[in-house]
Amino acid sequence: MTRGIIGRVAADDKVIYIYKEPDYDSEIVRRTSFDELLHLYYELEIEDGEHPLAYWYRVWGGYLPGVYVQHTRYRLNKPFDDIFECGNLAEITVPYTEAYTFSEYQGWKKKYRLYYETTHWITGVKTGPDGKPWYELTSQLSTSLVYYVRREHLRLVQDIEYLPTSIHVPPIDKHILISLEDQTLSAFESAKLVFKTRISSGLGYKEVNLKNPNATATPRGTFNVTSKYPSKHMGGVIATGAPGSYTLPGVPWTTFFIFETGVAFHGTYWHNNFGSPMSHGCINMRN
């Protein structure tokens, strides 16, 4: 199941250890570092009272708990020169790539680290810091926020990937059921279940709303999709270090169902703990 998969340690604010056995009480082999890349030999699913759906990975030297391990691969792509005026959507295909900004005053400076399967808008091509052509990316957050990445690290999203599923089924007959208790998403066409997966909803007990913008529990109720973004920059331009401050460029396939408070379905690249609440109110899903 894990052949060819590289695990990225995605926890930047937590200490993640490798253990001698797939058990938190076993001997600690060593400490990992943020964004460390590890070959995953195989996966174990451990069920117990404290961690009912805990995933562990066999790695060099021991076992790694899977809560904050992003599955990645390393694929290079043929560069593309014909950029649409409105931009081309693209996806990162390596564990991570460094994005740089450029100014006449400061020259080239690292801005973001962009992660596997995040999505970004290509808006041009420019000679990069190594003298080779790099893609120009324009942030969804602001058209003035522009940065540059290696072209071989992105693939173009194809037109077919935008198409709706089951086009023969009227939209009114499609609905999604989220079980906050079971942490699952079930998709139905009329009364027929066509897809089911684990998700991570909001932490806590106070539901997100305009009166409680700092609450983190996913609101209960019946909602309609309000808007969709194939690429969304969540948080601020930078993470300031203040409580609650974060920056997540390129969050993929974001579907808002409460736009006023920013509650949405979206892909997730900062944890792998699906089946347990993890978010600030959104529905975290696998990419």
pTM score over 0.75 = yes
**CATH for the 88-160 domain, from 3.40.50.720, 2.30.110.10, 2.40.240.10, 2.30.30.40:** 2.30.30.40
State how far the alpha carbon of 85 is from the alpha carbons of 81, 88, 121, in Å. 12, 8, 11
Number of H helices, E strands in the chain: 0, 22
The pLDDT profile of the chain, 287 residues, written as one tens digit per residue, is: 567 799 999 998 889 999 999 999 999 999 999 999 999 999 998 876 655 567 899 999 999 999 999 999 999 999 988 899 889 999 999 999 999 999 999 999 999 999 999 999 999 999 999 999 999 999 988 889 999 999 999 999 999 999 888 999 999 999 999 999 999 999 999 999 999 999 999 998 888 888 887 889 999 999 999 999 999 999 877 654 444 557 899 999 999 999 889 999 999 999 999 999 999 999 999 98
Strand, helix or coil at 156?
Answer: strand
Domain locations in the chain as residue ranges: 6-72, 88-160, 168-285
**Residue owning tokens 């077919």:** 160
6-72 and 168-285 share one fold: no
Closest CA to 274 of 259, 286, 258: 286
Which class for 153: exposed (0-12), middle (13-18), buried (19 or more C-beta within 10 A)?
buried
Alpha helices of the chain — where are they, by DSSP H? none
Instruction: Say how far apart CA 117 and CA 286 lie, in whole Å.
Output: 10
Which class for 140: exposed (0-12), middle (13-18), buried (19 or more C-beta within 10 A)?
buried
Fold of 168-285: L,D-transpeptidase catalytic domain-like (2.40.440)
**CATH for the 6-72 domain, from 2.60.120, 2.40.30, 2.30.30, 1.10.10:** 2.30.30
Element (H, E) at 249: strand 247-258
Instruction: Say how far apart CA 118 and CA 183 lie, in whole Å.
Output: 23
